[in-house]
Amino acid sequence: MTRPAVLPADAASAPNASGRGDIEGELAAARDAAQRAEERLRTALAALADGFVLYDAEDRLVLCNERYRELYRISADLMVPGARFEDIIREGVRRGQYPDAAGGEEQWIAARLAAHRSANSVIEQRLPGGACLRIAERRTPAGDIVGFRFDISELKQAQDRLNLTLALSPAGFVCFDAAGRVAFVNPAFERMSGEPAQALLGLAQEQFDQRLRELFEPTGEAAPGDADVTSRLFFARPPKLVLKRSVRAGSGLTVHCYVDVTRDYEVDRMKSEFLSTAAHELRTPMSSVLGFTHLLLTRDYGRAKQRELVATVNEQAQRLSDMLNELLDLARIEARGGKDFRFEVQPLGTIVEETLSALHVRDDPRQVQVRLQDRHLLVNADRAKLRQALTNVVSNAYKYSPPDAPIELEVASEAGRAVLRVSDRGIGMTAEQSGRCFERFWRADPSGRIPGTGLGLSIVKEILELHGGAVEVASASGQGTCVTLRLPLVGSPPALFAPFAASSHTS
């Protein structure tokens, strides 16, 4: 078999034996032409930025360019004309030229040989040091194998960067290829959907949307599959999920980005619910104020009746004012998150005494019976805020118990925490009511006979939680209520200094 394009390097120096001058001349010219052609080819191959190699039909190396040797630096010395492909890669594997082969050498060699001999594949191959090649091999009509090596390290790195980024992203990504089928699903989307990527890959866009519908039982405004660029998807399946889907399409690809907005959505919903409840609660006393003043202005009543109506208006206006103050307190506490609390280590007993002596309940001569287990319990607290919390709890006890029933306040330490326990023997609450008593505006007495805003316990809860504490309610209908406030206890002096004592012993 002849080699049309590439001649052996020694062809030019073939013996010059013939005597016929013209033939000799032609032959010499032909040789020159061939030599020039080969020179040109070698120059071209040398200038090629990619690796080039030619094997003959017996799989022996015919030639390769310098770039090819550079790429396979570890086994470059093996790349000599006449070397067998299999020998080159076997020795290369032994020397560590092919990191992918490590651990499964024979398998790797068999696969590489098969790809090489079929000579119609494009494969990727890693090299030591993170470089990566794309190999394209083709068989020529003469039976040779032409091979190209393209350095795709940068492309590969960019791809790895993208994959790592997508793997770490909290947003879910689904990519569709030019044929509109799922080509990529990142781990965040697997977590959101509970579906492994394998189950989604290859699905057509419609099938994918159908799968979403099956998975999540969409509820609410936008169903998956809507064409808008950004849509909100509501999913009923537990755990309840609201996803925001953004769709971008470009150069034949479509990418879906899913962001979990469940929390934002819940917060928004709670905010508007709170606003409408607040508006309703403010409107009820406002109705009294406006209604009664209207009656006073438009109708003639006797002095006694007038006094009575003005008293009602005054009471309702007071209620409005209390509500606004408590709403503002609550909003301030929530917005600042305790940043404006002035924490100081101080004895809990003092705070309790101050609170009780400042408490005035109209027309109620009862005294709170205090049981102070330890006067020196120390807490790290904002005095004014903790007093406000305790005042709310104690005044609830006054309001919701009959005027002859005792109110008790116990101050103790339990399991390393300071405990304030306020118990009354009042109307109490059912289990269902106890469960709702921290809801804003919720009242145990909806009749309006007992004054209150329904915000007191919400404030108590916020204050305690910002102190690292907690509040619990235990109640039985008709028997009374017991509210327990728990606060972290600051170690008493001996406990505080104990570690120092211990370390001085060891040193």
Partner 1 sequence: MKILIVDDNPQLRKLVRMTLEGRGHVLGEESDGVAALQTALATRPDLIVLDVMMPGVDGYEICYLVKSAPELRATRVVLLTARGQETDVLTGRGALADAYLVKPFNPDALVAAIERLRGGQPGPYPARRFARAQGEA
* Binding-site ranges for partner 1 (CB under 8 A): 279-280, 283-292, 294-295, 298, 309, 312, 315-316, 446-449
Smallest gap from residue 393 Cβ to partner 1 (A): 24
- Helices and strands, counts by H and E, the chain: 15, 18
**The token pair that represents 421 in the structure block:** 């326990």
Of the two residues 285 and 426, which places its CB atom closer to partner 1 in the complex? 285
Q: Which amino acid is at 159?
A: Q
**How far apart, in whole angstroms, are the C-alpha atoms of residue 426 and residue 403?**
9
Long-range contacts made by residues 161-168, C-beta under 8 angstroms, separation at least 24? none
User: DSSP character for 60?
Assistant: B
Smallest gap from residue 304 Cβ to partner 1 (A): 14
Smallest gap from residue 444 Cβ to partner 1 (A): 11
Of the two residues 316 and 458, which places its CB atom closer to partner 1 in the complex? 316
Smallest gap from residue 294 Cβ to partner 1 (A): 5
User: DSSP character for 129?
Assistant: G
Smallest gap from residue 223 Cβ to partner 1 (A): 20
Of the two residues 59 and 315, which places its CB atom closer to partner 1 in the complex? 315
Of the two residues 207 and 312, which places its CB atom closer to partner 1 in the complex? 312
Smallest gap from residue 483 Cβ to partner 1 (A): 22
Of the two residues 282 and 361, which places its CB atom closer to partner 1 in the complex? 282
Q: Which amino acid is at 201?
A: L
Smallest gap from residue 287 Cβ to partner 1 (A): 4
Report yes or no: 62 and 52 within 8 Å, Cβ to Cβ. Answer: no
**What is the DSSP track for 397-435?**
HHHTS-TTS-EEEEEEEETTEEEEEEEE-SS---HHHHH
Of the two residues 94 and 280, which places its CB atom closer to partner 1 in the complex? 280
Q: Which of 336, 414, 350 is nearest to 381 (CA)?
A: 350
Of the two residues 299 and 342, which places its CB atom closer to partner 1 in the complex? 299
Of the two residues 76 and 295, which places its CB atom closer to partner 1 in the complex? 295
Smallest gap from residue 400 Cβ to partner 1 (A): 17
Smallest gap from residue 282 Cβ to partner 1 (A): 9
Of the two residues 146 and 295, which places its CB atom closer to partner 1 in the complex? 295
Smallest gap from residue 329 Cβ to partner 1 (A): 23
Smallest gap from residue 402 Cβ to partner 1 (A): 19
**What is the DSSP track for 314-335?**
HHHHHHHHHHHHHHHHHHHHHH
**How far apart, in whole angstroms, are the C-alpha atoms of residue 258 and residue 247?**
9
**What is the DSSP track for 455-491?**
-HHHHHHHHHHHTT-EEEEEEETTTEEEEEEEEEEEP
**What is the DSSP track for 1-25?**
---SS---GGGGG-------HHHHH
Of the two residues 94 and 283, which places its CB atom closer to partner 1 in the complex? 283
Residues 6+ apart with CB under 8 A from 143: 1, 56, 57
Report yes or no: 219 and 238 within 8 Å, Cβ to Cβ. Answer: no
Query: Percentage helix, strand, coil, to 5, in the chain?
Result: 50, 25, 30
**How far apart, in whole angstroms, are the C-alpha atoms of residue 160 and residue 63?**
34
Return the biggest CA–CA distance within the chain.
Answer: 152
Of the two residues 107 and 430, which places its CB atom closer to partner 1 in the complex? 430
Of the two residues 447 and 503, which places its CB atom closer to partner 1 in the complex? 447
Q: Which of 239, 487, 500, 304 is nearest to 383 (CA)?
A: 487
Instruction: Catalogue the E-assigned strands of 33-112.
Output: 51-55, 61-64
Smallest gap from residue 285 Cβ to partner 1 (A): 8
Report yes or no: 438 and 278 within 8 Å, Cβ to Cβ. Answer: no
